[in-house]
A = this chain, B = another copy of it.
Amino acid sequence: MCQLLGMNCNVPTDICFSFTGFQQRGGATDVHADGWGIAFFEGRGVRLFLDPQPSSTSPIAALVRNYPIHSKNVVAHIRKATQGVVGLENTHPFRRELWGRYWIFAHNGNLIDFAPTLDGSFLPVGNTDSERAFCWLLQSLRQRFGAAPPAAEALFDELRRLTLELSGHGEFNYLLSNGDWLIVHCSTKLAYIVRQAPFAQAHLKDQDVSVDFTTLTRPQDRVAIIATEPLTDNETWTTMAPGSLWLFEDGAALHQAATVPGPLRKPAG
């Protein structure tokens, strides 16, 4: 199993504070020591840092923690290998291009007996269930929508259908972004928080580090943080319902749908 961290904002924001706590879980405060990765969208471009070393001791993680890259969409992952050897080709997040945009994907879970027919348009380079699922999702989206990228709502509906199908194979928490939207599936475990005015102080769970957001933000700023487990111990995180799919844009949850039967909370934020 692994841990996920996502950020979606209405203004380019650095993730140094959240990453400082998250990074500790890669071998220091938790067991996810089989590599890590983080992707930052900057406009249409992506910076993707991947390292098969534990994040708690990785020199690249130290750089990311100290070098404020400003981004509206970030996807990060620390890995505890379930399927696939420890190696760079199996390190999340994965990236492919579809409709002239980069798509970034990271997965926490384990898909059993998932061997879809892939037509060659997107093929895994490594041998994880996660990359296979990502390739199948993109192939299915292209088959469904052809050459024309859909609007958010149509994409979300189709992703809900595909996610339902994948969820039959096992645990499938994921983050997916094209730089505009951050799509989040809570299969078993994810929580989120939307930070907006009035801003306050936050204190990390995994390290004795605080930040005063009142001094770093403008009143109109809005930042959604999504993580496998809450990163701070003095803020109210919302636990996502197992079997829920979310679409975040500009730091707000715009769409939410069930990927299992039963009632769902309304998106807050």
Contact = CB atoms under 8 A, between A and B. Distances in A.
A261 interface: no
Contacts of A63: 59-60, 63
Task: State the oligomeric state as a number of copies.
Answer: 2
For chain A, the bracket of interface size reads 35 or more
B50 A50 contact: no
Give the interface centre of A43, A46, A97, A99 by most chain B CB atoms within 10 Å.
Answer: A97
A101 B125 contact: yes
Contact of A46 (B42, B46, B88, B142): B88
A52 B46 CA distance: 11
A150 interface: no
Given A48-B48, A67-B59, A88 B42 contact: yes
Nearest to A147: B120
Interface string A117-146: 000111111100000000000000010000
B124 A89 contact: no
19 contacts: A42-B52, A42-B88, A44-B89, A45-B90, A45-B91, A45-B125, A45-B126, A46-B88, A49-B49, A59-B63, A59-B67, A63-B63, A95-B95, A96-B97, A97-B122, A97-B125, A99-B120, A99-B123, A100-B125
